Amino acid sequence: MTQFQNPILPGSHPDPSVCRVGPDYYLVTSTFEYFPGLPLYHSRDLVHWRPAGHVLDRPSQLPLQGVRASGGLYAPTIRHHDGVFYVVCTLVGGTGKSGNFVVTATDPEGPWSEPHWLPEAAGFDPSLFFDDDGRAWWTATREVRDGRTEVYLREFDAGSLSLIGEEHVLFHGAMHDAVWAEAPHLYKVDGRYVLLCAEGGTDFEHSVVVAFADEVTGPYRGSPLNPVLTHRHLGRSHPIAAAGHADLVCTQNGQWYAVLLATRPYGGYYYNLGRETFLVPVSWENGGPVFSPGTGRVEAAYPVPDLLVHPWSEPQPTDDFDAPDLGPAWMFLRTPEEKFWSLTERPGHLRLRLRPESITGLVTPSALVRRQQHQSFHASCVLEFAPAGPAEAAGLVLLQNNDNHLRLLLGADREVTLVRRIRGREEVLATAVVEEGPVRLGFEAVGQDHQALVASGSGEWQLLGPAFDGRFLSTPVAGGFTGVHIGLYATSDGEPSHSWADFDSFTYRALGDRHLTLTGIAGE
């Protein structure tokens, strides 16, 4: 292996933060309204990452009830000091707890502590910096007016997990009248303090900027090379866009790299996969970082770092639900207050209890979802379900948010219905009646061309309705900060129910161009 491919974490993995402990690297990303929160990944070579759990995996740690779509957990930072791991983060729009918090662990794979909330910490996008004199510092961003922000610093007491001392305003952005100078990370390189920030918002104008100071409290002066990384000058047709929100790490061999977010638009300026995690090399010239030396932009491939290549076993495309616990890819919408799923009531199956909650509301429906990670994919399930009433349905969902998604559900009278919901308005695209017994439901896509599939038992796949355009599932259309998630769903749609749906398996795999189960995609 001489080169690695970007992104290193495909699918909705925005706002990455990384730290190194000896030969081990740990990375976390934002998860917004999804539970468990803040996936933690482990690597030995910065290229191959294995899921190592979640920082917030207990309902008591993460009160997401009622949080709006793309609310919830924003921009975590992970750091390690004196045998303790720290993650700081912001919960935005909570109906109970909200604001900034810190959690700690001595083992990054958990357990992590209950959140220590910091009501004295204003703003969002917090970070921690441990100086070589033993003092620790908190940086964060707060809005001043109309997207104009300021980055501030206070001392952090690692013993009491609190902010102490006076506040120092460090930075207002590099560009004149800059918006959303945020995600501040502090480093000390060759005796000088380096402040790395995102700027310009999280979409096309996103960028990375840097400022320097001789004292941790400032004054900080922006680099004359700012922005040190952006793709906004490359146009919306460039295959990688919205590069920004970087965090730096130095390997044990003295090489520097940055993890950052970017998007991969396809079918025009549409990115259904959301903001993904990329890796770029960094060098230092005249005391400042040079991102992607030689090109100055995020590339699709780079030489591998000078580290021993350490791949992990690849996840299997099919989950047969034979394991005692859910796999790390699965997530819930918001924090479940009751257990509505089981892997033991019918061994070898995932059982979802039907409940009145609907995926169209800001609730926790009976749903399990995972990230879409490829522009072309196949996703399908095997379902056994006997509805007890006209409101009951179960099947697959292709989810951007509560107001923008596709539902492919088996309901009363053995009727499968494909429903498209755009900006809260629904349209039935197709229906079909299936035989008694197990039913298979599927979605496939090649780029933005999508199709729905249905099959009775072990019979052949059949197209359900015509091919349709998936651009409405992209962030530029649907809004928000997340990518598409795919998963399993059961509901009694406002009515009480004692029913359940049994899923025998779920399959997700990448498709190459035109490698479809059926040739129903438009243009074939």
100: which strand partners?
90
Please tell me the distance from the alpha carbon of residue 244 to that of residue 226, in angstroms, as a whole number. 13
User: H or E stretch including 1?
Assistant: none
Please tell me the distance from the alpha carbon of residue 372 to that of residue 406, in angstroms, as a whole number. 14
Q: What is the DSSP letter of 315?
A: P
Query: To the nearest 10°, the Cα dihedral for 245, 249, 254, 255?
Result: -40
Which of 219, 177, 175, 176 shows the shortest CA–CA distance to 195? 219
Let me know: does 55 contact 86? Beta carbons within 8 Å: no
301: which strand partners?
5
Please tell me the distance from the alpha carbon of residue 380 to that of residue 297, in angstroms, as a whole number. 37
Let me know: does 16 contact 221? Beta carbons within 8 Å: no
Please tell me the distance from the alpha carbon of residue 136 to that of residue 155, in angstroms, as a whole number. 6
Please tell me the distance from the alpha carbon of residue 192 to that of residue 249, in angstroms, as a whole number. 16
Active site residues: 15, 182
Q: What is the DSSP letter of 323?
A: S
For 209, other C-beta atoms within 10 Å of its C-beta total 26
Q: What are the percentages of helix, strand and coil residues in the chain, rounded to 5?
A: 5, 50, 50
**Exposure b/e, 264-287, CB count within 10 A at least 16 = b:** bbbeebbbbbbbbbbbbbbeeeee
The amino acid at residue 190 is D
Q: What is the DSSP letter of 478?
A: H
Which of 169, 167, 136, 178 shows the shortest CA–CA distance to 150? 169
- Hunting for tokens 């960094």 — which residue is that? 282
The amino acid at residue 491 is T
Let me know: does 453 contact 517? Beta carbons within 8 Å: yes
Please tell me the distance from the alpha carbon of residue 226 to that of residue 455, in angstroms, as a whole number. 55
**158-186-172 Cα angle (round to 5):** 115
- Hunting for tokens 């290229």 — which residue is that? 47
Please tell me the distance from the alpha carbon of residue 36 to that of residue 58, in angstroms, as a whole number. 7
